[in-house]
Amino acid sequence: MIDPDGRLVNEPPAPPLGVILLAHGAGAPMDSPFMAAMAEGLAACGWRVVRFEFPYMARRRQGGPRSAPDRMPKLEQAFRDQLLREAAGPSAGLPLFIGGKSMGGRVASLVADGLADELHLRGCLCLGYPFHPPGKPESLRTEHLRQLRTATLILQGERDAFGRRGEADAYPLSSAIRLEWIPSGDHSFKPTRSSGLNEAEAWALAVQAADVFLREQLVA
């Protein structure tokens, strides 16, 4: 259920290890099956997971027209505002993490260092990073990833059209970034039939890898 502030919150079964603020991708909302699977899985592992929508997606939910994402400065400010509100409210005192699906993860990575300095952010989680538009491997979105200081996990499907294995392995990334691969996964980690995995199993692998990373940052 969406709370009065327009967010979705998944609470863990015991006191939370920390909170992770997750943003959606460019085309699908915060309650898409992928986002729900990630949030529910991480909550079951002990994390408080808060999902929110960028202004353009929130307008669509309220009956507005389908529109392109807001400009990057507006997306970045929305992310900052959401975390500042969360850190001062329900999650005050908890270790803080941010992340998101595709575009949401890109925005998280762009604001991570500033938030780390301001709020002692522990880490960033990118679920299918859009390294480049499909079919345009020369149009890289990696410049800021070379200098990123915040501990970051990028989980990427091996056949992701936004940056597949073999391409992304060669990108110059900061030493703070860990790149891990979901076997045979696409941009939403959906595997091929020949991989021997189904979608739920691939999503469970992503949750497990994310949980390991998040726990490591608690003692880093």
Tokens 């270790």 locate to 95
Asked if 186 and 156 touch (Cβ cutoff 8 Å), the reply is: no
Measured CA to CA, the distance from residue 88 to residue 83 in angstroms comes to: 8
Measured CA to CA, the distance from residue 82 to residue 22 in angstroms comes to: 10
Q: What is the pLDDT of residue 67?
A: 81
- 145: nearest Cα among 168, 161, 166, 164: 168
Q: How far out from the chain centre does Cα 135 lie?
A: 23
Would you kindly state where each structural domain of the chain is located, as residue ranges? Answer: 8-218
Asked if 12 and 48 touch (Cβ cutoff 8 Å), the reply is: yes
Query: pLDDT exceeding 70 applies to what percent of the chain?
Result: 100
Average pLDDT estimate for 71-78: 96
- Angstrom distances, CA of residue 127 to CA of 59, 153, 184, 209, 215: 24, 8, 15, 11, 17
Mean pLDDT, the chain, rounded, equals 94
Residue 203 reports pLDDT greater than 80:
yes
- What is the per-residue pLDDT across 41-61, written as a single tens digit (0 to 9) for each? 999 999 999 999 999 999 988
- What is the per-residue pLDDT across 134-176, written as a single tens digit (0 to 9) for each? 999 999 999 999 999 999 999 999 999 999 999 988 899 999 9
Dihedral of CA atoms 120, 121, 122, 126 in degrees, nearest 10, equals: -160
* CATH class given for the domain over 8-218: alpha beta
- 21: nearest Cα among 74, 118, 95: 95
Residue 81 reports pLDDT greater than 90:
yes
Across the chain, the runs of DSSP E, i.e. the strands, are 8-10, 19-23, 48-52, 96-101, 123-127, 152-157, 177-182
Q: What is the pLDDT of residue 162?
A: 97
Query: Residue 62 is which amino acid?
Result: Q
Q: Tell me, what DSSP letter sits at residue 151?
A: -
How many angstroms separate the most distant Cα atoms in the chain?
47
- What is the per-residue pLDDT across 83-142, written as a single tens digit (0 to 9) for each? 999 999 888 899 999 999 999 999 999 999 999 988 999 999 999 999 999 999 999 999
Residue 169 has, within 13 A of its CA and on its CB side, a CA count of: 8
